[in-house]
Chains A and B, each alone.
Chain A
Amino acid sequence: MTAVWVTIGTLALGTAALKLAGPLALGGRSLSAKAHNVVELLASALLAALVVVETFGTGHSLVLDARVLGVAFAAVALTRRAPMIVVVVGAAAVTAIARLLS
């Protein structure tokens, strides 16, 4: 439980620092082009990593299970511009139904 509260506290302070750094500490200055490039790309790299680990990962192994069908549904729903609620609830429903049938 300590790990949970340490995570919450540090993440809260760190996120605030990231939001405040520009307007308070770095007023007028800007990141170097190089740093800006990396910062802009971090979210894409980490989100993609989270997608694959949460779809295929179980502990230290990679498995194909019902989650794959749920994520496939989410991918199709996103390309059809479905709202977020349809994407995530649909993914859960497809996964639950696949587990029920298997």
Chain B
Amino acid sequence: MFAISISFGVLARPLMGPVAPIAMSILVFSGSAQFGALAVLIAGGSAAAAIAAGLLLNARYLAMGLALAPSLRGRAPSRAAFAMTTVDASWASAAIGGGRFDPWYMVGVSIPQYAGWVLGTVVGVFVGPALGHPDSLGLDALFPAFFLALLFEEARGRRRLVAAGGGAGIALVLTPILPAGLPILAAAVGALAASRVRP
């Protein structure tokens, strides 16, 4: 995780300057959405396209929050505080079977991840300029390698593979035609199509 957040700082610095990448890691705290939005902006896409890409990548939080809801007790502010600490790894590791979650366990896993994510971004933002030109270090290949690693975890099962194949095909076909960022959004149609495939 730490290495990924350092990479984020290094890659975001040329476009965003030193402060914005750190603010983004503090406020958004989501690897896939931050890298996804950054990739769209670097390619010359609009803020709207970057936001839409980030939100579609994070749509899974809606499903994760619904699964988590019955395990959260207390008043709304306390339930909200627990829900805000949801990230992929902590949510998954807090599952205790039978659809239940241990909210304190989730918080315990999330806090060090959050600290590492923000600290790594700070390190990346400040060491980045000392590294030289990003392309000569192959840093542009960090983007697809990171997305591939996430996809490798995510795309289990026939329908997810169909969604991935459809999304990749749509994006490739539309890249020469549509403005930057939009082919990524159009790939969401791949998910719609795959949802009709039998599991």
Interface residues of A (CB under 8 A from B): 1-12, 14-16, 18-24, 26-31, 34, 36-57, 59-62, 66-67, 70-71, 73-75, 78, 84-85, 87-100
Contacts and interface: CB of A to CB of B under 8 A. Distances in A.
A56 B54 CA distance: 21
Contact of B142 (A12, A60, A92): A92
Contacts, number: 311
Nearest to A12: B27
Given A40-B63, A99-B135, A20 B144 contact: no
Q: Looking at chain B's contact residues, is the secondary structure mostly helix, strand, loop, or mixed?
A: helix
Nearest to B137: A96
Interface centre among A39, A51, A66, A75 (most CB of B within 10 A): A51
Interface of B: 1, 3-4, 7, 15-17, 20, 23-24, 27-30, 32-37, 39, 41, 43-44, 46-47, 50-51, 53-70, 72, 76, 79-80, 82-84, 86, 135-152, 154-155, 159-161, 163-168, 170-172, 175-177, 180, 183-184, 186-192, 194-195
Given A22-B66, A38-B191, A42-B59, A49 B171 contact: yes
A2 B48 CA distance: 12
Contacts of A44: 151, 154-155, 160-161, 163-164, 167, 191, 194
A14 B54 CA distance: 9
A88 B183 CA distance: 24
A52 B76 CA distance: 42
Give the 10 A-B CB pairs with smallest separation, nearest first. Answer: A22-B65, A95-B138, A45-B167, A49-B187, A70-B141, A91-B145, A96-B138, A49-B171, A12-B27, A48-B164
